[in-house]
Amino acid sequence: MGEELGELRRTHLCGELRREHVPQEVVLMGWVHRRRNHGGLIFINLRDREGVVQVVFNPQVAVSAHAKAGQLRSEYVVAIQGTVVERPTGTANPNLSTGEVEVVATELTILAEANPLPFSLDGEEEVSEALRFKYRYLDLRRPGLQRNLIVRHRVAKAIRDY
């Protein structure tokens, strides 16, 4: 089960972080999009409604956060406290709006665990319509559908504002 949130409050959305936020302390909340274990370091891509940011768990910085990060799976809901740092030279990701920075985690709170998903949410694999309809609440998290909903919202708002 998830942990208590306590006094922890979100300071930024994942897609907002840029180079000018270095070296701020931030609290981010969202879904674990991907997790990669590179020996001593654990990397996760944290996703919320605004975008994705890379979070690094280093055992030399925070032992307990690193241990908890080893348990994370896709779609866990987490709160992360850490410091925004510039990515090392040559590791910037031009495909992400937050690709020049990463967050070095000092604290990790698992808010909700997730069961294994019936299909991937990254939009890379073809999923049958029947499966998408059965799990439509998951389908709404896919990037293509998110973009469609945002465009629909903007069009409807423009019509209302006219």
What pairs with residue 81 in β-bridges?
27, 107
Residue 87: closest CA among 37, 29, 41, 124: 41
pLDDT of residue 93: 86
How does pLDDT run across 11-68, given as a tens digit for each residue?
999 989 999 998 999 999 999 998 998 888 999 999 988 889 999 999 999 999 999 9
pLDDT of residue 80: 95
pLDDT of residue 11: 93
pLDDT of residue 2: 62
Superfamily of domain 14-112: Nucleic acid-binding proteins (2.40.50.140)
Tokens of 7: 């006094």
How does pLDDT run across 146-158, given as a tens digit for each residue?
889 999 999 999 9
Pair type for strands 77-86 and 25-38: antiparallel
Residue 53: closest CA among 13, 98, 104, 11: 98
DSSP 8-state assignment for residue 23: T
E strand segments, the chain? 25-38, 41-48, 51-57, 77-86, 101-112
pLDDT band at 1 (very low <50, low <70, confident <90, very high): low
Summarize the confidence of residues 72-99 as an average pLDDT: 90
Where are the chain's structural domains? Answer: 14-112, 129-161
How does pLDDT run across 69-85, given as a tens digit for each residue?
999 998 999 999 999 99
| C-alpha distance from residue 64 to each of 71, 86, 93, 107, 139 (Å) | 12, 23, 28, 8, 33
